[in-house]
Homo-oligomer: A and B are copies of this chain.
């Protein structure tokens, strides 16, 4: 009998999040799953790691083909610890999500879900992150699931080029117009803080903000695809080198 593929799952909304729970159900028929997820919210944790305190990790559930662990660390810590101590063999995939909220465009840099995916990719494992553009803790993930499963099946069948992972975002709609292969939209967050004053007088700042695209009309940016009702798949490199700029810098005067 052919062995099922093994997938390591994590997220940044925590082990109890609906998006993770629905993704588990969606992928259980096609893979053995090991879930190592944070014990609470870690949204916006990017690829952060925990070096100053030790990590705790506890198995909270086990059944045929599914083990679930909760971990005191960041999303990346979960992947690192899962690969180090909790998997019986190198997984066939690392999957992050389903995130409650948009990780397209520049949000890839802040996203804990994409932290999971980048860490999987750094470990040379085909890795994919799924995010729904809806922050509600009770968001409806049902339109996402058939696409998530199809994409995972395709990655299991075909692999991904080394050093490249997928950032997959879904619009907050009940149905999609199809799938677009996208590039990361260029844009900026503006008006990023709301000020409020503590009863004792100190000013506090809440992070908030609005995203402004700098290329509204560019077809096939992830921002554009989502706005048009498509599932946006953005292939994402872990090599951040700007090779085009290397030659130019060679001509700088950097002698001291």
Contact = CB atoms under 8 A, between A and B. Distances in A.
Contact of A158 (B161, B237, B252): B252
A187 B141 CA distance: 36
B55 A207 contact: yes
A239 B193 contact: no
A120 B122 CA distance: 24
Contacts of A203: 57
Interface in A205-256: 205-207, 231, 233-246, 248-250, 252-256
Given A50-B207, A160-B245, A181-B246, 20 more contacts: A43-B52, A44-B50, A46-B46, A46-B47, A46-B48, A47-B110, A55-B193, A55-B205, A85-B193, A108-B240, A109-B122, A122-B188, A150-B254, A154-B252, A179-B254, A181-B250, A183-B246, A235-B241, A235-B245, A236-B241
A57 B236 CA distance: 34
Nearest to A42: B48
A124 interface: yes
B256 A76 contact: no
Nearest to A207: B51
8 contacts: A43-B51, A54-B205, A77-B207, A84-B205, A146-B256, A161-B244, A183-B243, A184-B239
A164 interface: yes
B164 A245 contact: yes
A190 to B, nearest CB: 9
Interface of A: 41, 43-52, 54-57, 76-77, 80-81, 84-85, 106, 108-110, 112, 115, 118, 122-124, 146-147, 149-151, 154, 158, 160-161, 163-164, 179, 181-184, 186, 188-189, 192-193, 195-196, 202-207, 231, 233-246, 248-250, 252-256
A229 to B, nearest CB: 15
A160 B47 CA distance: 25
A123 B238 CA distance: 21
Contacts of A192: 80, 84
Contacts of A124: 188
Would you list the 3 A-B pairs with minimal beta carbon distance, nearest first? A46-B46, A54-B204, A146-B256
Contacts of A234: 241
Contact of A246 (B54, B235, B239, B243): B235
